[in-house]
Amino acid sequence: MQMTVKDLKQQALQSRKLILEMLTEAKSGHPGGSLSAIDIITALFFNEMKVDPKNSMWTDRDRFILSKGHGVPALYATLAYRGYYDPKETLTLRQLGSPFQGHPDRVRMPVLEASTGSLGQGVSVAQGIAMAFRLDNKSSRVYCLMGDGEVQEGQAWECFMSAGNYKLSNLCVFLDINKYQIDGSTKDVMDIEPLKQKIESFKWNVLEINGHNMDEILGALKKAREEKNKPTMILAHTIKGKGVSFMENVNKWHGVAPNKEELQKALQELKIVDQ
């Protein structure tokens, strides 16, 4: 599927609304990091990735692993509009018995590809799938999305070292740099910069973009596809809570759901995100 940039923006807007609706219904969950990641996830599923919702376990599909599992409402919304299930079903988020678990559960929902929620682990799984694909001479690609707080985990750097060493050019990782984690700004909690130099020195192709700009996201994905020698890390500068004025850069919205009034306020002001 190859949606136009205009339609991708429209799609991301629709998903933003569904994310907030499901969180309000669940009365808990993580809006900030879902809204910062949604433009990237939209571009992946509606333009970049070879997937088939009618045959979701098609063996040659591209894979996407959400390593920062708490952002899963963004993935649930995207998969719904991509045709994997009815968007209404996502409103059972976090309810007892629902496949829409608080963090990704690949046993209840195989299309999630991995079970994540303990930070730092998903990216290793993405590496493993990329290595298996290469072994089988498959052209399928593997995508992963991590949080900027998440890369404080040692396991992330073990993976970066080893994926660089294995020259896994079929692996492309997005880093959702929204500049916040739970206890505060990433800079205050545990500074991870300079990321570009660090990751380049681990033998990765490193690109830097505005993670809310569809043209830049698509451009980076194209460059990643053309890279034949290294895994690609796309440093995506984003805004936590993007699209909702009272959530943007207000870190209390890391892990608190909007109530009904806040939802209405957010739905009224949401419009297409351009930058």
Ligand X SMILES: Cc1ncc(C[n+]2csc(CCOP(=O)(O)OP(=O)(O)O)c2C)c(N)n1
Task: Compare residues 232 and 238 and give the one whose CB is closer to other proteins.
Answer: 238
Task: Compare residues 34 and 232 and give the one whose CB is closer to other proteins.
Answer: 34
Q: Where does this chain touch ligand X (CB under 6 A) — which range of 133-141, 145-153, 212-220, 266-274? A: 145-153
Task: Compare residues 87 and 102 and give the one whose CB is closer to other proteins.
Answer: 102
Choose the one of ligand X, other proteins, none that binds residue 152, judging by a C-beta under 5 to 8 angstroms depending on kind: other proteins
Calpha distance 215→47 (Å, rounded): 12
Q: Using CB under 8 A, pick the residue from 31, 71, 73, 149 that binds other proteins.
A: 149
Q: Are 49 and 191 in contact (CB under 8 A)?
A: no
| 240 interacts with other proteins by CB under 8 A | no
Calpha distance 144→163 (Å, rounded): 13
Q: Are 210 and 172 in contact (CB under 8 A)?
A: no
> How many residues bind ligand X, per CB under 6 A?
21
Reading phi first (left if > 0) and then psi (alpha if -120 to 50, else beta), residue 97 is in left
Choose the one of ligand X, other proteins, none that binds residue 53, judging by a C-beta under 5 to 8 angstroms depending on kind: none
Task: Compare residues 97 and 194 and give the one whose CB is closer to other proteins.
Answer: 97
b (16+ CB within 10 A) / e for 8-26: bbebbbbbbbbbbbbbbbb
Neighbours of 201 (CB within 10 A): 12
Task: Compare residues 53 and 99 and give the one whose CB is closer to other proteins.
Answer: 99
Task: Compare residues 94 and 230 and give the one whose CB is closer to ligand X.
Answer: 94
| 32 interacts with ligand X by CB under 6 A | yes
CA dihedral (44, 45, 48, 49) positive or negative? positive
Calpha distance 194→102 (Å, rounded): 32
Choose the one of other proteins, ligand X, none that binds residue 97, judging by a C-beta under 5 to 8 angstroms depending on kind: other proteins
| 33 interacts with other proteins by CB under 8 A | no
**Radius of gyration (Cα) for the chain, nearest Å?**
17
Q: Where does this chain touch ligand X (CB under 6 A) — which range of 45-53, 114-122, 134-142, 203-211? A: 114-122
Binders of ligand X in range 151-190 (CB under 6 A) = 176, 178, 180-182
Q: Using CB under 8 A, pick the residue from 102, 208, 223, 267 that binds other proteins.
A: 102
Q: Are 73 and 87 in contact (CB under 8 A)?
A: no
Give the nearest distance from C-beta 214 to other proteins in angstroms.
30
Calpha distance 97→76 (Å, rounded): 16
User: Helix 5-26 vs helix 214-226: angle between axes, to the nearest 10 degrees?
Assistant: 110
Task: Compare residues 184 and 219 and give the one whose CB is closer to other proteins.
Answer: 184
Binding region for other proteins (CB under 8 A) = 26-29, 69, 94-98, 100-103, 105, 115-120, 149-150, 152-154, 181-183, 188-190
